[in-house]
Structure 1
């Protein structure tokens, strides 16, 4: 009887120290990236595919991975009508080079425009397994700054619209770029 009681006591202590596995469900929304869609400048209601677009964050050598299923340098290129770009969780701004025709052998056809995004950050607790996520709000006064090294009439990005200031989920269009 003492052996059974001792066994139950040991089993009780052993099981009370166990904790459930802390695994973050992949479907749990985490820090969102910013969804940018590209539109035809001459027909503003029509989405338009970019040609060989590469996006590089300031201070980085490699581009943002725009095509995760591709291999090699093709991972950094897209010919789609939208991109998801990460924002910086440590500062209130991020600068990107948007390079269209990045793979073209003729350097005169490669065109680079620069976009700087300004925002505020808020950290939200998700769960013990997932930790915190950051949501972003583009500033109301200067949400973006569009610049280029060439004259304005040679920029490939013609116009930018902020569709929504709050960046909470990845499936909501935040920026519309017309070219």
Structure 2
């Protein structure tokens, strides 16, 4: 009887998975890279770019001297809107554009320790809608190119913005 109990105990230990801290990739953020419209092959740093989620009271972040930013997308909705204000610290020249990201969401099992992550697929017809709600025809963003519709990792640029 003791041998049976000991055998069951050993097999139960061998069948258990180790509960590790989740080190796998989780829900990816949208990677946006900025380029010079006059020289499209060259990255261009943004200055005092304030990013705010539309409908949110707090700004997400203010970026200075960066050519790439990472933005989270909503995991409970198929649309996320952001206000991007260039030169946000200078009232005389600041300029706000609105970007609306339209996508479908997929839940992907990562591991027992990590659980699920959400991946996104930008809609082919209207993945990014660009507007300027305050003063029409004064958009600082001149062109938007979707580099990769599938947002499943943060290792690549998803959207290129030319200004």
* TM class by smaller structure: 0.7 to 0.9
Cα distance between partner residues in 2 of 1:48 and 1:139 = 27
Question: 1:69 is matched with which residue?
Answer: none
1:52-91 correspondence to structure 2 within 5 Å: 52-65=48-61, 76-91=62-77
1:150 aligns with 2:146: no
3-state secondary structure, aligned to 2:55: coil
1:118 to 90, 102, 105: 102
In 1, Cα distance between the equivalents of 2:114 and 2:85? 34
Aligned length: 161
Unpaired stretches in structure 1, ≥5 consecutive residues? 66-75
- Deviation track 1:12-69 (CA, whole Å, cap 9, x = no partner) reads 759957955423332x11111011000001111110000111111122122224xxxx
Correspondence for 1:92: 78
TM-score (norm 1): 0.80
Q: 1:48 aligns with which of 44, 50, 57?
A: 44
Between the aligned partners of 1:20 and 1:78, the Cα distance in structure 2 is 45
Question: Where do 5+ consecutive residues of structure 2 fail to align?
Answer: none
Q: Give the structure with higher Rg (CA).
A: 1
- TM-score, with normalisation over the residues of structure 2? 0.87
User: Please, what is the CA RMSD of the aligned residues?
Assistant: 2.4
| CA distance, structure 1, for counterparts of residue 110 and residue 65 of structure 2 | 34
1:134 corresponding residue in structure 2: 118
